[in-house]
């Protein structure tokens, strides 16, 4: 039996625990590593935008794209105050 196989058999619980931990938290670990790299990559390349919401709507065409939208109102729920809080 090879030394690697003996080592794995001796510490199989450690390897399985480590594998489960990495499987459960791999996205968080990648985010913790990648976020500082992305911040360094974009450092000094920020763009500041000074627009009022009305200017942004006219320039982006939001008002035109929502012009023919039909809004559904639910009169039973809208406009009534909650009698009992959720929590």
Residue (of 51, 46, 48, 73) closest to 62 by Cα position: 51
Are 29 and 22 a contacting pair, CB within 8 Å?
A: yes
User: Taking the domains of the chain in order of start, what are their residue ranges?
Assistant: 1-40
* pTM given for the model: 0.40
Question: One digit per residue, pLDDT tens: the chain, 87 residues?
Answer: 789 889 888 999 999 999 999 999 999 999 999 999 988 988 888 777 788 877 877 888 776 666 667 767 666 655 666 666 665
What is the Cα Rg of the chain in Å?
Answer: 27
């Amino acid at each position: 039996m090879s030394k690697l196989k003996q080592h794995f058999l001796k510490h199989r619980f450690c390897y399985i625990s480590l594998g489960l931990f990495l499987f459960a938290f791999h996205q968080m670990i990648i985010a913790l590593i990648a976020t500082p790299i992305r911040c360094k990559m974009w450092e000094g390349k920020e763009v500041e935008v000074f627009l009022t919401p009305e200017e942004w709507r006219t320039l982006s065409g939001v008002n035109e794209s929502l012009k023919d939208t039909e809004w559904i109102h639910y009169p039973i729920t809208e406009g009534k105050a909650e009698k009992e809080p959720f929590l």
